Structure 1
Amino acid sequence: MSLFRQDRIYRPSEKIKGYEIIRILGEGRFGICYLVSYGQKQFILKQLKLGMLKKSKGKLRYEEDILKELQHESIPQFIERIEFNDFYGYVLEFKEGRTFEDIIYIDRKAFSRDEIYCIAWQLIDILKYLHSKGVVHRDIRVPNTLYHLEKVNLLDFGLARWINNRKYRADMDFAFLGDFLLHLYYSSYEYKKGRKRPWYEELELADDERLFLKRLMGVEQRYSSIVEVEKEFHSLLKIEGKGGE
């Protein structure tokens, strides 16, 4: 028997506790995500699959617990939990924008250096906030980040955990940040025939830029804290003549 047999999938125009389904945004192993409306406002409704919720022994509730403690303009605000009969889920603030995954791989946008620096600065600011609240995100990827009018929003806190400096460390986010930035750098890369080389040989990077990414990725000694990352990135911006806030 399927673990998910008991989970009902709601269709457009149906309502869940007053929230009207506009459309399904996506379905994964752990849940179903809907765009919904309540009055004149739109929200995100995440329906957790009951079988996986039971199997995970409550791990899927970390996202709810963590988001309740966060207040940042680039992170969806937790609105409320909805629980009845065979339904368990919660409502989140709706954030405008498209994922970087769609922008890079569907729109084929090539990001400029200035755009990459601006995006990186915003993500560093978000991570600085999260780490100050004792949270490690662990899933900063192009499908989990929105971009709208040059503003970045970080989504999907399903893998986020409270930092305990053992199993869950703040520096886990650095490799994700580095990999995310590499997607932006490669958006303007012109692939050439021949043997594939490591990213730090393929991409045309300034020495300080390359070292910054290497340290994020752990190729060189990893940064010890997000404050150190911020400081080094600020120095990089000055070297590159981009200023910094």
Structure 2
Amino acid sequence: MLGRIAGKLKEIIDAWRDYPLQPGTIWKDRFRIERLLGMGSYGQAYACTDLSTGSVALLKRNKPSKGRTGIELLRRESELMRSLAHPQIPRWLDYTVRKRDEALIMEYIDGHNLEFGIYEQGITYSAYEALAVLKSLLAPLSYLHKQGFVHRDVRIPNVMLQEGKLFLIDLGLACPIGERLPAKLQAALGESDGSMASGSAAAIKRRMRSPLPSSDWFGLGHLFLFLMYAGYEHPEGQPEKSWEEELSLQSEVRLFVSKLLQEEPGWETTEHCRQELDELLNSLRLAGQPEM
């Protein structure tokens, strides 16, 4: 009984500590909070105005209830972003400390993510269009891998579309290639061996969280399938089948996507993957099937 009461009290205290910053709040005498954009397990994202320039930025604050773990994850993300400079990755702008709260300030991408486009706007993709999305994302991924990092979270919520240009966002799970996270962070992110022991969802998570470039290729493969299933209607009364059977794809497209999903696709670098996709898209154009 006392344990349940203590647990409930902790939930109330944590919710109070994590109460979002209100519009109009001034952070560090420079950034005015405009609105909450979203809240994750360890952070809160806000649109804010930089009072020194008048420009809009994104402020990512650690969740106070997560203590030092939330701050450590935010600092890792900041240090990684600060070393990057690519037109399809948000720019690092600043890192600030306010008492026990810290915040990463980055470029604000004014648009919507692919998840919103699919589920809220009903956007669908042909196979050619979906492959073109992958080609666009391979540019920042190739750059990221050349810099020695892996994203580890290539999913439709983390791809922003702004005026026809795609951005790869949210580097909160990114890490150096080959890094083994400290046990404390593994446990916090649900990446310890026990938390990903069995089940198809756990197997997908394990593949995507691997600190190797192939995990991002795997993420691209799943992203392609999400785009294709956005326009798929399952025949009523028919049993579910594999994506290879359900989706009407040309054999060369199916082969490329299968390679993305393999544990050992055979590419030495992401640039080699990108070159193969270029060849595939060119062959489809020459065949006169860009709208398939």
TM-score where L is the length of structure 1: 0.91
Alignment root-mean-square deviation, CA: 2.2
**Alpha-carbon shift at residue 90 of structure 1 (Å):** 1.3
Give the corresponding residue for 1:188: 231
* 1:115 Cα deviation from its structure 2 partner: 2.7
When structure 1 is superposed on structure 2, of 123-132 and 182-191 the one drifting more is 182-191
For the 8 Å contact 1:215–1:223, the answer to whether it is kept is: no
Partner of residue 261, structure 2: 217
Q: Percent identity of the aligned residues?
A: 28
Per the alignment, do residues 207 and 220 of structure 1 end up closer, same or farther by CA in structure 2, a change over 3 Å counting? farther
1:92-117 CA distances to partner (integer Å, 9 max, x unpaired)? 10112101001001111112344323
Contact in 1 for aligned 2:127/2:249 (Cα 8 Å): no
The partner residue of 1:179 within 222, 244, 247 is: 222
Q: Would the aligned equivalents of 1:12 and 1:22 in 2 still touch at CA under 8 Å? A: yes
Match of 2:100 among 86, 89, 107: 86
Native 8 Å contact 2:71 2:102 kept in 1: no
Q: How does 1:1-245 map to 2 (within 5 A)?
A: 1-2=10-11, 4=14, 6-7=17-18, 9-17=20-28, 18-39=30-51, 40-55=54-69, 58-164=72-178, 168-193=211-236, 194-218=238-262, 221=265, 223-241=267-285
Structure 1 distance, partners of 2:98, 2:70, is 20
SS at match of 2:213: coil
Following superposition, the deviation at residue 168 of structure 1 comes to 1.7
- Structure 2 unaligned runs (5+)? 1-9, 181-209, 288-292
Closer/same/farther in 2, CA of residues 178 and 23 from structure 1, 3 Å limit = same
- Cα distance in 2 between the residues matched to 1:225 and 1:111: 27
Kindly state the Cα deviation for residue 190 of structure 1 after the two structures are TM-superposed. 2.5
Q: Does the C-alpha gap of structure 1 residues 56 and 82 become closer, same or farther in structure 2, counting only changes over 3 Å? A: closer
| Cα distance change of structure 1 residues 71 and 237 upon mapping to structure 2, 3 Å threshold | same
Unaligned segments of structure 1, at least 5 residues: none
Task: Out of 87-96 and 5-14, give the one that drifted further.
Answer: 5-14
Distance between the aligned counterparts of 1:56 and 1:94, measured in 2? 21
TM-score w.r.t. length of structure 2: 0.77
Q: Quick one: distance in 1 between partners of 2:65 and 2:174?
A: 21
CA shift, 1:50, in A, is 3.5
For the Cα contact (< 8 Å) 1:67–1:78, is it kept in 2? Answer: yes
Shift in Å at residue 8 of structure 1? 5.2
Aligned amino acid, residue 275 of structure 2: K
Distance 2:46 2:71 in 1: 24
Aligned residues: 243
